[in-house]
Amino acid sequence: MDRAVSTARAITILGATGSIGTSTLDVVRRNSDRYRVVALTAHRDVDRLAQLCCEHRPDYAVMADPAAAARLEERLRRDVPETRVLGGAEALCEVAAMPEVDTVMAAIVGAAGLLPTLEAARAGKRILLANKEAMVMAGALFIQQVQRGGATLLPVDSEHNALFQAMPAAYVPGWGRPEGVTKVMLTASGGPFRTIPLGKLSNVTPEQACAHPNWTMGRKISVDSATMMNKGLEVIEACWLYAMPAHDVQVIVHPQSVVHSMVQYQDGSVLAQLGKPDMRTPIAHCLGWPERIDAGVGALDMFAVGRLDFEPPDLQRFPCLRLAQDAWRQGGTAAAILNAANEVAVQAFLDGELAYSDIPGIIENTLEKLTPGDAGSIQRILEDDARARACAAALVAGQPGRRMYL
């Protein structure tokens, strides 16, 4: 399934300017003898990608926005002339599948990362999967392409990486249910609003929602953490990664974010992975696997942690978790509809067009209005994704007076 580990892996980083991309490049920088950056991609942050190209001097730089690609090419013509600049969605797929690349960090946020990640699977790459939406939207197709292409799928999400670390030694995600495992337990911090009175949720601001108590993340995933939609998406992802039914995937609120997830075995054992809440740990684990490499993360001091608390999730406080579980049970393209509606609602909240407390309602109403189709076709998945975005946007537009926190 995987090539032999070479002295210098050739890597494409999809989403290089985001939080995961930045952390990946930090780990690469610490292990520069092991990795060669072939391609870096971004959506439209020309300044940041230009800086990264000047440092890492990749063979290719891709902007998803063609207009931004033109600006980047002009910027790099003098300083990094050896870097070829490409633009558009097709270019993202190209650098994910090119023969000289053996490792792809899939860190593009949201549905935009689906197609290039699928191309990496078809091409048999080692895929470091940080884009959970690819699995949520097209899990069956994605696993099918992983197996047909002989790809190696390594989960970067801290929770799924923790599960992977606690799985049987020979197990690789995407190739069936792990032997002897009876349950997986995904931990969740509960985010910044775990104890806030429910009546105050309608007035929280984007700044408050993005102020995660333990993790430093991008704005979209920070809001998903606050609503616990990210945990709902992770439940769906776990079902595909580990070939397990939803009733064998348990969500546990763990405010300290020290136990990143747990695996229960048929002999009664429970294995947990612990560590500081720093994404460089799972990134380094996937980059170096099956070896361990320097992540730049200090050791966990259990005396400083002091205590570990666990509690069940409150579905009244976190209705997005229930919606994700319902979408999984509904099947077909329901999860793609859920994901699209969530992306629209979260962006509307971040833009000041929707109250935080109205995010679940937009998602639920979109799911009620649209009938899921067959998820066996990428065309139908993308069609239902577009339908859901249009429906959710219309619902947002119909919400009167929702700039409540401004």
How does pLDDT run across 205-228, given as a tens digit for each residue? 999 999 877 766 788 989 999 999
Q: How confident is the model at residue 4 (pLDDT cuts 50, 70, 90)?
A: very low
Whether residue 239 sits in one domain with residue 274: yes
Please list the residues that pair with 154 across neighbouring strands: 128
Question: Is 400 within a domain?
Answer: no
Whether residue 93 sits in one domain with residue 235: no
DSSP per-residue string spanning 377-400: -HHHHHHHHHHHHHHHHHHHHT-T
pLDDT at 342 over 90: yes
Whether residue 267 sits in one domain with residue 256: yes
Instruction: Read off the tokens for 345.
Output: 């609602």
Whether residue 79 sits in one domain with residue 19: yes
Question: Is 402 within a domain?
Answer: no
pLDDT in tens, 28-84: 999 999 999 999 999 999 999 999 999 999 999 999 999 999 999 999 998 999 999
**Alpha helices per DSSP H over 351-377:** 359-369
CATH of the domain at 118: 3.40.50.720
Q: What is the pTM of this model?
A: 0.91
Average pLDDT over residues 270-286: 97
Instruction: Read off the tokens for 157.
Output: 């999400």
Whether residue 52 sits in one domain with residue 150: yes
Contact between 335 and 377 under an 8 Å Cβ cutoff? The reply is no
Q: How confident is the model at residue 2 (pLDDT cuts 50, 70, 90)?
A: very low
Whether residue 137 sits in one domain with residue 238: no
Reduced to 3 states (helix: H, G, I; strand: E, B; else coil), residue 330 is helix
Last residue of a domain, one of 251, 286, 321: 321
pLDDT of residue 5: 43
Nearest to 375 by CA among 340, 335, 341, 325: 335
Question: Is 332 within a domain?
Answer: no
Question: Is 357 within a domain?
Answer: no
Whether residue 152 sits in one domain with residue 27: yes
Last residue of a domain, one of 290, 321, 352: 321
Question: Is 367 within a domain?
Answer: no
Question: Is 368 within a domain?
Answer: no
Reduced to 3 states (helix: H, G, I; strand: E, B; else coil), residue 272 is strand
Compute the distance between CA of residue 13 and CA of residue 33 in angstroms, rounded to an integer: 17
Instruction: Read off the tokens for 256.
Output: 């300290």
Whether residue 251 sits in one domain with residue 130: no
What's the mean pLDDT when you consider all of the chain? 94
DSSP E strands in 111-195: the ranges are 126-129, 152-155, 181-188
Q: How confident is the model at residue 401 (pLDDT cuts 50, 70, 90)?
A: low
Last residue of a domain, one of 321, 344, 369: 321
Question: Is 60 within a domain?
Answer: yes
Whether residue 173 sits in one domain with residue 151: no
Whether residue 152 sits in one domain with residue 29: yes
Whether residue 312 sits in one domain with residue 245: yes
Question: Is 184 within a domain?
Answer: yes
Whether residue 164 sits in one domain with residue 149: no
Gap between the terminal Cα atoms of the chain:
52
Nearest to 385 by CA among 337, 338, 343, 347: 337
Range of the structural domain that residue 100 is part of = 9-156
Domain count, the chain: 2
